[in-house]
Amino acid sequence: MFRSTCLLPALLIMGLAAPAQASPALWEVRDGDSALWFFGSFHILPEGTAWRTPLFDATFAEADKVVFETDIRPQAIAEMGAKAFAQGIYVDGTLLTDVIDAALEEQLRAQMARMNMPVGTVLAMRPWMAANTISVGALTANGFGAQGVEFVLEPELAAERMVFLETGDQQLDVFARAPEDEQIAMLAATLEQMDDMSKVMNKMVGYWVSGTPEGLLKLVEVEMDGFEDAFVGRLLYERNRNWMAPLERMLANDEQNLVVVGAGHLVGDGNVLDLLSAAGYSVERIQ
């Protein structure tokens, strides 16, 4: 399964059993008679996570359209998974161990052994694909894997009610087109975070479900440590800026849409809500 946010579990693949009273943050952005409602998503959640509220469900039902980052319907996911695999595998005989140093190779082999995963599983992979595979394997081994927000909502929507801010190819390019040094830094940071990954993910979703994005932001900043600034810029800030044009068109056209994007895009410097506020739109948290 390919998703840009599945390729950076330290930021957006997370899981925790929900507290008794779930109330993830929901924001309203207005421009006269038009409105967009923003809801931060976690793309993978454990079984039993309760995140829907009466206000969210009412907004979901009444919105003209529901806006996702990209197409997450089954056929689109399958197509992007194939493209990700094709771009994430060496085809010239190069091995992952040829492009990383001895210390990182030792760390890789040690973490793979702790996960009972054969190191041969990742030897033909480019660093970004190896980082994704290891992260997903670690999370799966710790009981994560239930579908997240978009995957719950998609079956409830007619095709004409879905809008996408970018293509799957654009998401894939963030990772597959990254310079090798950025990919290696991603792999190194992933391996460094492995021992604490489940604990950190638990805390992140706890903050999200309880409606405390400021707590989520602090953990996001910690987890991004070790990733190259240029990569983080493309993953978050550049995409946030790219989304402004379609979002502003929706507001100009007096649309009433629900926008569901990764929670990391709604916190921190340069987040989508701050960009809209700076552009002169009214931004109010309503949940």
Per-residue pLDDT, 144? 67
Please give the average per-residue pLDDT across 1-13, as a whole number: 37
Per-residue pLDDT, 9? 40
Smallest CA-to-CA distance from 238 within 166, 185, 135, 188 is with 166
pLDDT tens-digit readout, 161-171: 999 999 999 99
- Mean pLDDT for the chain overall: 86
Q: CA 207, CA 89: separation in Å to the nearest integer?
A: 36
Per-residue pLDDT, 62? 96
More confident call, 9 vs 254: 254
Please give the average per-residue pLDDT across 15-21, as a whole number: 42
Per-residue pLDDT, 25? 94
pLDDT classification of 7: cutoffs 50, 70, 90: very low
pLDDT tens-digit readout, 155-196: 999 999 999 999 999 999 999 999 999 999 999 988 988 877
What residues contact 116, with CB distance under 8 A and at least 6 apart? Answer: none
Two tokens at 229?
Answer: 């600034």
Per-residue pLDDT, 19? 43
Q: CA 275, CA 50: separation in Å to the nearest integer?
A: 30
pLDDT classification of 145: cutoffs 50, 70, 90: low
pLDDT tens-digit readout, 52-110: 999 999 999 999 999 999 999 999 999 999 999 999 999 999 999 999 999 999 999 99
Task: Map residue 250 onto helix, strand or coil.
Answer: helix
Amino acid at 201: M
Quote the percentage of the chain above a pLDDT of 70. 89
Per-residue pLDDT, 269? 86
Q: CA 241, CA 205: separation in Å to the nearest integer?
A: 25
pLDDT classification of 140: cutoffs 50, 70, 90: confident
CA dihedral of 4, 6, 12, 14, whole degrees rounded to 10: 170
Please give the average per-residue pLDDT across 228-252, as a whole number: 91
Whether 1 shows a pLDDT value over 60: the answer reads no
Q: CA 77, CA 151: separation in Å to the nearest integer?
A: 11
Lowest pLDDT segment from 18-22, 74-78, 145-149: 18-22
pTM of the entire predicted model: 0.86
Per-residue pLDDT, 260? 97
Task: Map residue 266 onto helix, strand or coil.
Answer: helix
Q: CA 87, CA 215: separation in Å to the nearest integer?
A: 35
Lowest pLDDT segment from 18-32, 114-128, 137-151, 179-193: 137-151
More confident call, 67 vs 269: 67
